[in-house]
Structure 1
Amino acid sequence: MNRRDALKAFAGLALCPLCRPAFAAEGAHWSYQGATGPAKWGDLDAASKVCAIGQQQSPIDIIAPVKAQLPPLKLGWAKSADTIVNNGHTIQLNFAEGSTLTLGDRKYKLLQVHFHRPSEHLVAGRSFPMEAHFVHRADSGALAVLGVLMSTGKPNAAFASVVATMPAKEGPPVKADASFNPNDMLPKKLTYYRYSGSLTTPPCAETVEWLVLTTPITVAETDVAAFAKLYPMNARPVQRDNRRYVLVSG
């Protein structure tokens, strides 16, 4: 393991609050507004300093991506989730062992999916009503997050089942609806943008290989509205790209 991967492994294991299935987040309290909002995350505690001074922060506005020969996304996801939780920042579904993402010669395990409103990533300045983040971790501790942009239109059965069963208040995880199939939250075409970035929540560790699908899925506007009753805004503003290249698969 090289030095960069070793640093990612340590940070990914220790500094990924949204990777934890428990509803009680560790560390300093943070939010999306006010005195503990995104502009203040870097001042919350020493572990979150990178939120303010990091050079590879996420999300970003994806502008003029460079076309490249990227490895295909090979997804081996189960057709169900284990638990669902309202963790005080979003709605999250956790997965049992066995679901994987293979990217080139590296394999990642699917840990969880959570949701942001509106989308955290922009594409050429365009925002989307929501965005789903499927969080994966390799045995080394390196993280890969698959971002799925969500537009309104035709209903999506998987997201509808999330909305129908999501806990209204913060609390411990409960059993997920057996009808939820994460594979149904993917577009048919799995072309993607790829760049190196960070967690989009404190401590903002720069440990993430971002894989944002180029094709949005559609979900019912009523389901977005139902999610918005719990979380009307839980998205970090876009960060400076600092001349990072964003690649796009053909």
Structure 2
Amino acid sequence: MQKITAVLLSLPLAWITSVLAENHWSYKGDTAPEHWGNLNAQWFFCNQGQYQSPIDIRDPVTGNLPPLNLYLSSPAGSITHNGHTIHITVEEGNSVALDRQHWQLKQFHFHAPSENYINGQRFPLEVHFVHANSKDEGMVVAVMLVAGQANPALEMVLNALPQRQHHSAALPPNVSFASLFPQDKHYYRFSGSLTTPPCTEGIIWLVMKQPVEASQMQLSRITQALRNANSRPLQPLHGRQITE
């Protein structure tokens, strides 16, 4: 998988860049996804890439993938609405074991409705947990949310969210990410990209098979907080293989 460079492809900085250049891209009008690749020469992957995300996950190949091993020990850092998503920075100490190495969780954020589909089904909300390894390679764990029981972690996130965009607030130290992950840790795996500019490819995607519940009120609150749908349209597979 290609290496993520410090300037453009650093995952922890990807959303900070979005804050500084909030008017440079959006999800509608002249700066909508279909125009991203024309807005900045460095975003050429957005309209020229062959391994773009999101996708509709269909017909996976059996690869006997082991359940995901999560290590969640450190509290969240801060929360902000950066103009594109609700973004939560994370303290060091949370990681995923994959491919005989640990991938550190850097941040997570929300897309409503979901960007990825599973067998043609779209979900009310999708959470992207963005990770990087020691080589600055990227991996995203995606979790789908559906209406059901109230979710404790999502409730704390919503209660801590500042009322104004681009203002940050600290999350309570007792926030646990555990309820944002399903009990069944099996997943689909494929190679993809960032779903926002610069649409960098070479990202490992793990989409959890089992969705997580949140109350309808919580789903409505986060959708209202986002103000506008923030989902990139589905991208062609171009012969990519999806493994389960």
- TM-score (normalizing by structure 2): 0.93
Partner of 2:160: 165
Q: Give the counterpart letter for 1:14 in structure 2.
A: V
Q: CA contact under 8 A between 1:79 and 1:182: conserved in structure 2? A: no
Q: CA contact under 8 A between 2:33 and 2:232: conserved in structure 1? A: yes
Shift of 1:185: 0.7
| Aligned partner (choices 10, 15, 23) of residue 8 of structure 2 | 15
In 2, the alpha carbon distance for the partners of 1:45 and 1:146 equals 27
Find out whether 1:245 has 2:241 as its counterpart.
Answer: yes
Partner of 1:82: 77
Poorly superposed stretches of 4+, deviation over 3 Å: 25-28
Q: Deviations over 1:152-207 (max 9, x none)?
A: 11111101111122123222432112342111211110000000000000000003
In 1, the alpha carbon distance for the partners of 2:11 and 2:106 equals 10
Partner of 1:233: 229
Q: After superposing the two structures, state which structure 1 stretch, 41-50 or 14-23, moved more.
A: 14-23
In 1, the alpha carbon distance for the partners of 2:217 and 2:39 equals 36
Secondary structure at the counterpart of residue 82 of structure 1? strand
Q: Percent identity at matched positions? A: 36
Secondary structure at the counterpart of residue 122 of structure 2? coil
The total of aligned residue pairs comes to: 241
Q: CA contact under 8 A between 2:55 and 2:235: conserved in structure 1? A: yes
Q: CA RMSD in A?
A: 1.8
Q: Give the counterpart letter for 1:133 in structure 2.
A: H
Q: CA contact under 8 A between 1:83 and 1:173: conserved in structure 2? A: yes
Shift of 1:139: 1.1
1:96-245 to structure 2, matched below 5 A, reads 96-231=91-226, 232-245=228-241
Q: CA contact under 8 A between 2:55 and 2:117: conserved in structure 1? A: yes
In 1, the alpha carbon distance for the partners of 2:73 and 2:106 equals 12
Shift of 1:242: 0.8
Structure 1: gaps spanning 5 or more residues: none
